[in-house]
Structure 1
Amino acid sequence: MVSKEKRIEFKKGAFREELNKDAEKIMNVAEYVSINNKALLDFAKNNAFSKVSLPKWDLPVFPEKANKATISFIILGNTQNFAFTDFITKQKYVAEYKGSDYVGAMGMWASIKKAIERGVPLLDGEFLSTISYKELEEIYNSKSKIPMLQERLDILNEVGNVLCKKYDGKFYNILKGYELGKEMMFDNGKGFVELLVSDFPSFRDESDYKEIKIKFDKRAQLTAAMTFEKFLGLGKNIFKQGEEEKLSVFADYELPKVLNSIGILNYNESLSNDINNGVLLKSGSKEEVELRAATILAADRIEEEIKRFNKSSKINQLGIDYLLWSAGRQIKTANHHLTITTAY
């Protein structure tokens, strides 16, 4: 609890409630990361009346229309949405699209957009199920090498097989009723996020911390968020109203770095040294899980405190994520942690 006042309650949904509870359990016994309540309150107070706009995903590397192809493109991209910094050279992946360079994740989106435009059937499950290392290498061929190419290939083969087996080879069939505006992200195992996690093993993102199992499902949640935001930016909503409130922030490399830089997350000396020196943190290690759990819990509390300072605020975790991401754009010198993982 950050404030001594009565806790503000708002509908989060079962997934987010469970995630927050597990994150709190972890932080109650954490050894490497802690949350600075004063810094959190100061940030919430300073941003309580900030105008937060959600991303529209309208850069040239994204499709322009609200249709089935766009749904498929977003799901495809998020099967690959991880690890854009080389673990040895520390250089970020860069790809060119129509005369401009795009860095990191945007470089990945640029590469798959270019491939689709030149006729590579990346939105077809049958093609993905048999795509080769050489073909994928050509898709990502650029000024720099994208990390974890074999893992990316394995994921695409898996995804293609599942699409052919369960969804007639098409990504958009995961959201069959999208035109009605009544799709759900969470629906007792039948929601969009839940189907991604249950049907596609590569979307599963969970960790064990002592006796605690925590499910982050970062890429599955991000897929839903990007779909929601892209269509909303084009004046459409394919999800039932309020579904977006059930999403958490996206526990990745960037948000812990931002939260640490603004004083909300504190690291002990050994973790701080490891991050500053570019030492790899093992996936599933105490340090890595604490970083992610602290990010989830801090973001949830920031939302609560903003709504305490500003009773009319409608901000949710998508807004908090974008608020923190925007703050991170001003931070040029801090390192983020490095973990070899397909989770983020």
Structure 2
Amino acid sequence: MSKVRKSAEFVASKSTNVTVNAEGCRSMALAIKQRMSHSHYSHSNWSAHTLNPDMNTPGVVDWIFTIDTLNFSFWSDEPKFEVKYQGNNYTGYWSLVAAINRALDENIPITCPMFWCTDEFNMELIRKIFRSENEASAPLLEERFNVLREAGEALKKGGFKSFEDVLRSLSSSNPRSALAVVDWVTSNIGSYDDTALYKNVKVYIYKRAQILVGDIWACFHGTGFGEFEDINEITMFADYRVPQILYANNCIEYSPHFHDKIQKKVMMESGSCEEVEIRECSIWAVELIVNELNNLGVNINAVLADFYLWDTAKEKEKENTRIIECHRVRSVFY
């Protein structure tokens, strides 16, 4: 069992603010099975997103590495940070992807890790890349500069020019291991080391490290750079969106105090007891859903389940379906 899965089980057994509802998870699994019987869902859905590249795109591994190094804290209230790209306006996570794609179209080598180590890469450039269509600014701009600089320096120190080099190096000693990739990024790049102390026990969450592996696996359809024998050891990616859909389907429940705090949009501290509980209990709830789906004959892992739940949450948002607020935290970890 992976460190993240063990941590999720432990926190779920001790949690007081968030409770995993096993019966709700079983019902959710049945609903997902019924929905999937009408529409096929696989890692191919990743490349189907308009802004995502496919496995044949030059430099796609470094593109994914860039996106997932920056993939944190794009939630906002009105007005939302907004990026215009190819005639469309994007908010949330997709504003990040649009901003990076726009920068590449403008011949800014933003997905080159060695560029992050140069003087040309600076805060002025970051502000240009993340310019908005309205008065709202992208949150944590200085932190975005810092995490890219840190990641570039980590690769450079290891003798790597690109993240492809890291994957090749790891495959020589840990053939096709997703957990080896997670271990490398969390050990060498501080912004990926997503852990916390919960009831005096160190727990692991690793949202961005795991989604990095999941995105590579999905982009390459489980082949080439994306061939990981232990992909099923990866858990869901504990963020803001998935807890919303889990709560809406009674997979997780909140104490009255915690529910009130979320609805009032009270900011939480990264690593606080409440924040750890909502993230780890979400991981454990998805584990129960995945196990139930597999028992029902649906061949799925937590990566695909997370993609499905995240997409479903975004669909509900577009439909203006009323669901609980997301919890508020500003963090480089998600």
Matches within 5 A, 1:279-318: 279-308=266-295, 310=296, 312-318=297-303
Pick from 201, 208, 230 the counterpart of residue 219 of structure 2.
Answer: 230
Report the CA distance shift for 1:209/1:330 in structure 2 as closer, same or farther (over 3 A): same
Deviation, 1:29, is: 1.9
Quick check: which one's helix share is greater? 2
Is the contact between residue 178 and residue 239 of structure 1 (CA under 8 Å) also seen in structure 2? Answer: no
Deviation, 1:83, is: 0.6
Give the corresponding residue for 1:262. Answer: 249
AA at the equivalent of 1:40: C
AA at the equivalent of 2:215: M
Deviation, 1:78, is: 0.7
Matches within 5 A, 1:117-132: 117-129=105-117, 130=119, 131-132=121-122
Give the corresponding residue for 2:125. Answer: 135
Deviation, 1:305, is: 1.7
2:189 matches 1:200: yes
Per-residue deviation, residues 80-112 of structure 1 (Å, max 9, x unmatched): 0011123xx454332111111122111111111
- The TM-score normalised by the length of structure 1 is 0.85
Is the contact between residue 66 and residue 236 of structure 1 (CA under 8 Å) also seen in structure 2? Answer: no
Per-residue deviation, residues 40-77 of structure 1 (Å, max 9, x unmatched): 22222333453433332344433344355000000011
Report the CA distance shift for 1:293/1:241 in structure 2 as closer, same or farther (over 3 A): closer
AA at the equivalent of 1:108: L
Give the corresponding residue for 2:240. Answer: 253
- The TM-score normalised by the length of structure 2 is 0.88
AA at the equivalent of 2:25: L
2:29 matches 1:37: no
Is the contact between residue 83 and residue 98 of structure 2 (CA under 8 Å) also seen in structure 1? Answer: yes
AA at the equivalent of 2:245: V
Number of residue pairs the alignment of both structures matches: 319
Distance 1:157 1:238 in 2: 24
Distance 1:97 1:302 in 2: 36
Classify the secondary structure of the residue corresponding to 2:235: coil
Shifted more, 260-269 versus 23-32: the winner is: 23-32
AA at the equivalent of 1:330: K
Is the contact between residue 177 and residue 183 of structure 1 (CA under 8 Å) also seen in structure 2? Answer: no
| Structure 1 residue runs without a partner (length 5+) | 1-13
Q: State the identity %.
A: 24
Pick from 84, 88, 91 the counterpart of residue 103 of structure 1.
Answer: 91
Give the corresponding residue for 1:322. Answer: 307
2:166 matches 1:174: yes
Classify the secondary structure of the residue corresponding to 2:253: strand
Give the corresponding residue for 1:8. Answer: none
Distance 2:57 2:87 in 1: 26
2:60 matches 1:70: yes
Per-residue deviation, residues 230-259 of structure 1 (Å, max 9, x unmatched): 111xx8443445332111011100111111
2:195 matches 1:209: no
Tell me how large the CA RMSD over aligned residues is. 2.3
Shifted more, 213-222 versus 313-322: the winner is: 313-322
Classify the secondary structure of the residue corresponding to 2:316: coil
